[in-house]
A and B are shown apart, each in its own frame.
Chain A
Amino acid sequence: MSRVILGTNLIEDCGTVMTISGTPLFSYKVEPDEVKLSFNIPSPPANTEVRVEDNVICRGNVVVKADQNSATISHGDVKLLHLSIEGDTAIVHLDLRPLGLRIYTDSNALHIGSSQLSQNIIKQCTNGIAIG
């Protein structure tokens, strides 16, 4: 079972949590030594391509840090994606503004352009949130 909270939205047992222009943005695996995070955003729509597979940087000027309960992908001072595991749930904070996309989370909602998604429950859907 996959259970993710993204900007207060619960996304459970979906094929993908979030896609951007048809590309799944991230996935994760919890392994005994560390959380393995994959992240993929093409350019366009981002102003620069970033691709990380199981914590290994394939494209983009980013830094990956991971431990047993969390993983972070940073671009400069900004955390593009921070994922922390709490029980059976992954809590995800996202900020794609350094990549030229107004997509980010705060304590209240997931912001996509002018739209805000908050406290929605999306279960057993093909795509949780599809952008573009």
Chain B
Amino acid sequence: MTPEIRDEVLCLIEKATNYLYPLRWVDEKTTTGDFDGREAAIDVFFIPSSNQIDFLAWIRPIRGLIREMTGHRCIFIFHSPEATITHYSYLFPVTSGVPLVKGGGIKLPLPSPGGTESKPVIISSPQYDIKDIREAA
């Protein structure tokens, strides 16, 4: 399965589920060990157990298409909000309480399909100019 097809599948599922849950193809960052269908398994994060049936209902109309695209039946691995925070928080960085003055702001990449690969970069600059430093000296 090419990276383009993998991205396209995530985009289809995101659209069908209105971007409610971050998605990610299972890889070494989320899962160790081997199991049947690992190559066609998708992690679904922050999904309460009560919403799992709805998720499957929303994607029912596109499951055939996904199967055609991937050549497999997809396996969905659901992670509750609590489990996501406990075990996968490294995928969901939180930048909180940063005071940034006279800098370049906060820069982030465009969200990738699935939405689990973005990290902010804080572009700061010196808070004092040369004149301030000379005066301080």
Contacts and interface: CB of A to CB of B under 8 A. Distances in A.
B5 interface: no
A120 B93 contact: no
B93 A115 contact: yes
Q: Does more than half of chain B's interface fall in helix, strand or loop, or is it mixed?
A: loop
Given A113-B111, A116-B92, A116-B94, A123 B100 contact: yes
Interface string A112-132: 111111111111111111111
B96 A120 contact: yes
Interface stretch (B15-23, B58-66, B72-80): B15-23
A54 to B, nearest CB: 25
B51 interface: no
Nearest to B45: A114
Nearest to A15: B105
B32 to A, nearest CB: 20
A100 interface: yes
Contacts of A119: 96-97
B102 interface: yes
12 contacts: A45-B110, A98-B18, A112-B108, A114-B91, A115-B94, A115-B108, A117-B120, A121-B99, A122-B100, A123-B102, A124-B101, A126-B104
